[in-house]
Structure 1
């Protein structure tokens, strides 16, 4: 199985790297990075655990409305004045079933069902946010890499210029101050290059963190910027967001849960009806032996006709929580509106900058070339060289920034709209639900932390083989 297929299959990235001869840097596209993050990001695993919690809450709510069985065993000794001591043992088993709870149990079950749906929506939203973070981190790393290239070229140009000025100075055609100034500019350019290289390493570290891979492994990012026009208007984006944002749907669910909480509280005004069935056995063994067996069945009615305002306070508390849920829904809707607008305007601004900076780069290149040639001919000034080179670096950096700003803001707009994962990404995210690959790797490699390349390669090959047999 090829590396790309392994990555799409969700095979641990570290195993793939070590399975390659020499543990060389693996090519990683943007889509593969997204799939990897959805498959093994730790934060996403934590969020997904909320689904399990919600499912258990639903089981608890359903159990409260079902049959409960209790067992009791009592050993007693009684001694009264002027009578012999009596020893006995009583065993009983009782089953209870709530017949009517005033709607409390039903409201609790419905609220728990809504909670399960909300937990799933929260996981989906976390997946969408993770996708956006990976896209940003990936493009940040690419932009930093391109910036390193620009800074390196600037250093090369200043180095070339410094060499030229030194030769002219040695020939007596240039002043010493030109040599000093060119050396200063070369030093400054090297400082910018060092900062750019460090920024690139930081961006790669950020990307590795989202992917949850070895933090020191080399990466070769293969997806470069490609301009894709965004043809939807602002109104369309907002309407889509109102209908599809998972967190807004969660707010609606919370509002419905508060309505159910009000029903639960109001159930305190109503009676409860329970069915009880029991079997009991009693044995007296001192001073005489005597056995008795019996069965009971009863329907019990309980109604609290006065509780000093406790139920009323519970209802008012639930209604207040309902009102808060409404306000939170409106507040989040306003926040979504703002987020969509901000991302949309930023995207359009970056798009305009991208289109306008292309010509600026060509003009700056021509200006820098003319300045260098004039200086060589003895007609230009040192300041012309410096200004032209600085203008060229700025134009190139502006062009790079506009490119990746557009890509990032376009992804931000789609995230703010609540665009769901693609089919391929959902398939990758589904692999997060099980830790089968990690368990297999652990069982093959043992508990030792010192793993060899050969043993890890075997694990990667076995995982790949298992995937191919599916």
Structure 2
């Protein structure tokens, strides 16, 4: 009887903690969605599990192709390359072709005599005190920095995808293992109940079996939660809708 009372007190304590955590989670969700903190939330779908068939290489390739940060950095690299070409243009001659045409006549708006002139001008700056080379080096430095930043962003994205994928696979294994544990714990609980009813078992055996069953169910629920969170993080990491 004393052990039963102790277990009841511990269960009531756990229940109060769970209710408080739930209320805080609802408040946090409402704040994130811009709703009043005490708004009631009704879940329309339970935690679900559907086996993830894609490999790490598949999700990695998809993520590197669809993350907008990578496309933005590639555009920056192209822009810096264009700046290098502009700077190098100072080493080449500049060619200008111009042409004019005129009509001469003794009367107004005459069209009797027509003259035209064409001129081809080539300019080449031979001495610029190294100004062109300095501009080229500056542009090349900008291109190098853009490439380094793009590589860093790609590495960070790859790490983010790998972390989410591996955690998802870990949660999948835990789901399978805990599902078996729930089945075994359910059978053990049923046996303990029958043994107690037949007078060959004690009430403590039943409570121990029930405690073990509740623990396996909790582990299974936690695995489902971690799987769905990892799936959402993987979708975000790969740029998937």
Q: TM-score, normalised by structure 2?
A: 0.71
Aligned-pair RMSD on alpha carbons?
3.2
Distance 1:383 1:320, change over 3 A: farther
Partner of 1:357: 178
Aligned equivalents of 1:311, 1:214: Cα separation in 2: 62
Q: For 1:206 and 1:309, locate their aligned partners in 2 and report how far apart those are by CA, in whole Å.
A: 61
1:131 match: none
Cα distance, 1:234 vs structure 2: 2.4
Change (3 A) 1:211 1:267: farther
2:20 to 182, 192, 198: 198
> 1:348 aligned to 152, 157, 169, which one?
169
1:221 is paired with a residue of what secondary structure?
Answer: coil
**Residue 380 of structure 1: aligned partner:** 201
Alignment match, 2:121:
none
**Counterparts in 2 of 1:184 and 1:317: CA distance versus 1, 3 Å:** farther
Distance in 1 of aligned mates of 2:76 and 2:164: 27
Alignment of 1:146-185 (within 5 A): 179-185=1-7
SS at match of 2:30: helix
Q: How does 1:186-265 map to 2 (within 5 A)?
A: 186-262=8-84
Are residues 1:316 and 2:137 paired? yes
Q: Does 1:411 align with 2:232?
A: yes
Task: With the length of structure 1 as denominator, give the TM-score of the two structures.
Answer: 0.39
Structure 2: gaps (5+ residues): 93-124
1:261 CA drift (Å)? 4.4
2:212 maps to which residue?
391
Alignment of 1:281-320 (within 5 A): 313=134, 315-320=136-141
**Counterpart Cα distance in 2 of 1:265 and 1:213:** 54
- The answer on whether the counterparts of 2:171 and 2:224 sit within 8 Å (CA) in structure 1 is yes
Paired residue secondary structure (1:219): coil
Distance 1:209 1:311 in 2: 56
Q: Which moved more, 1:256-265 or 1:188-197?
A: 256-265
Show CA shifts across 1:167-214 (max 9, x none). Answer: xxxxxxxxxxxx221111111112211222222223222322332222
Please list, as runs of the form range in 1=range in 2, the aligned pairs for 1:329-348 lying within 5 A after superposition. Answer: 329-348=150-169
Matches within 5 A, 1:108-147: none
In structure 2, distance between residues paired with 1:383 and 1:216: 41
| Number of the residue aligned with 2:106 | none
Distance in 2 (CA, whole Å) between partners of 1:252 and 1:204 is 41
Q: 1:198 to 1:311 in 2, by over 3 A?
A: farther
Name 2:113's counterpart in structure 1: none
